[in-house]
């Protein structure tokens, strides 16, 4: 099964993708993670995208489609979870074609609905384990007192994303409404869209997604 998790920054796509990886043996394809990896390892592409990402603008379709094309040729296990991709209509068209070329289908698009007011507090409170990428939140899921990650058991420290600040978030939200939200209509028209409330506890959202996937 191949699915898309669609929603604004801070909707909880990464958290729910990690759960699906653990429970359904699916493969998470997060273009944000791929771009951050390129940036941190200082590749040519990483240098090109660094400023764009810091501002909260979208990286070009060409770059992200290229990243996804490469990954689709790899192992897929229990199917792919597209997390943060597609973010524009051209990316959605490209994904459809790429899946078709690999003899794959897109089975569901899960929209995670969260109020804008909740996004700012979620994002500014967010950090991830430097060892495994597990997501923590100062309010809803604080880092353990002994600073040992509850998932990987390591104490490698916790990172805050450079673009998780209010200025960048405003721009990321603007990009979402201008360029990504039209995908809701696009997938609705294809009969693929399932919307879940992304505001509840992590387990409640997980249950809603499970329900939607059947």
Residue nearest to ligand AMP (CB): 32
Residue closer to ligand AMP by CB (options 26, 64) is 64
Catalytic residue among 36, 71, 87, 206: 87
Residue closer to ligand AMP by CB (options 12, 56) is 56
Q: What is the 3-state secondary structure (H, E, C) of 136-161?
A: EECCCECCCCCCCCCCCCCCCCEECC
User: What backbone phi and psi angles, to 5 degrees, belong to 127?
Assistant: -145, 160
- Reduce the DSSP state of residue 3 to 3 states and report it: strand
Taking CB under 6 A as the criterion, the residue among 53, 112, 114, 209 binding ligand AMP is 53
Residue 209 near residue 196, CB atoms below 8 Å: yes
**What's the CA gap between 52 and 84, in Å, rounded?**
16
Q: Identify the bridge partners of residue 194 per DSSP, sorted by sequence position.
A: 110
Site for ligand AMP in 179-208 (CB under 6 A): none
Stretch that binds ligand AMP, among 27-35, 102-110, 145-153, 191-199 (CB under 6 A): 27-35
Taking CB under 6 A as the criterion, the residue among 18, 39, 71, 87 binding ligand AMP is 87
Cα 111 to Cα 19, 66, 172, distances in angstroms = 16, 24, 17
Count of other CB atoms within 10 angstroms of residue 71: 18
**What's the CA gap between 202 and 205, in Å, rounded?**
5
- Is 160 labeled as catalytic in the residue annotation? no
Residue closer to ligand AMP by CB (options 64, 196) is 64
Residue 9 near residue 169, CB atoms below 8 Å: yes
- Is 87 labeled as catalytic in the residue annotation? yes
Site for ligand AMP in 7-26 (CB under 6 A): 9
- Is 161 labeled as catalytic in the residue annotation? yes
Q: Identify the bridge partners of residue 137 per DSSP, sorted by sequence position.
A: 126, 141
DSSP code for 179: I
Report the nearest approach of ligand AMP to the CB of residue 214 (Å). 26
Report the nearest approach of ligand AMP to the CB of residue 133 (Å). 11
- Is 126 labeled as catalytic in the residue annotation? yes
Taking CB under 6 A as the criterion, the residue among 29, 172, 194, 196 binding ligand AMP is 172
Catalytic residues: 13, 87, 126, 161, 172
* Residues contributing to the site for ligand AMP (CB under 6 A): 9, 31-32, 35, 52-53, 56-59, 64, 84-85, 87, 91, 163, 172
């Amino acid at each position: 099964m191949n699915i898309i998790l669609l929603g604004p920054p801070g909707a909880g796509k990464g958290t729910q993708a990690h759960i699906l990886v653990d429970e359904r043996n699916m493969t998470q394809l997060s273009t944000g993670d791929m771009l951050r990896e390129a940036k941190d390892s200082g590749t040519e592409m990483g240098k090109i995208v660094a400023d764009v990402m810091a501002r909260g603008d979208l990286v070009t379709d060409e770059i992200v489609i290229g990243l996804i094309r490469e990954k689709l040729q790899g192992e897929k296990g229990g199917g792919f979870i597209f997390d943060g991709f597609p973010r524009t209509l051209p990316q959605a068209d490209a994904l459809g074609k790429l899946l078709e070329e690999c003899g794959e289908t897109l089975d569901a698009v899960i929209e995670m609905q969260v109020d804008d007011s909740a996004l700012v507090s979620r994002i500014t409170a967010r950090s991830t384990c430097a060892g495994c990428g597990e997501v923590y939140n100062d309010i809803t899921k604080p880092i353990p007192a002994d600073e040992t990650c509850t998932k990987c058991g390591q104490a490698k420290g916790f990172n805050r994303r450079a673009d998780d600040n209010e200025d960048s978030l405003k721009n990321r939200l603007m990009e979402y409404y201008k360029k990504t939200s039209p995908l809701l209509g696009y997938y609705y028209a294809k009969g693929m869209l399932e919307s879940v409330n992304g505001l509840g506890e992590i387990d409640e959202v997980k249950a809603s997604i499970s329900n939607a996937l059947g």
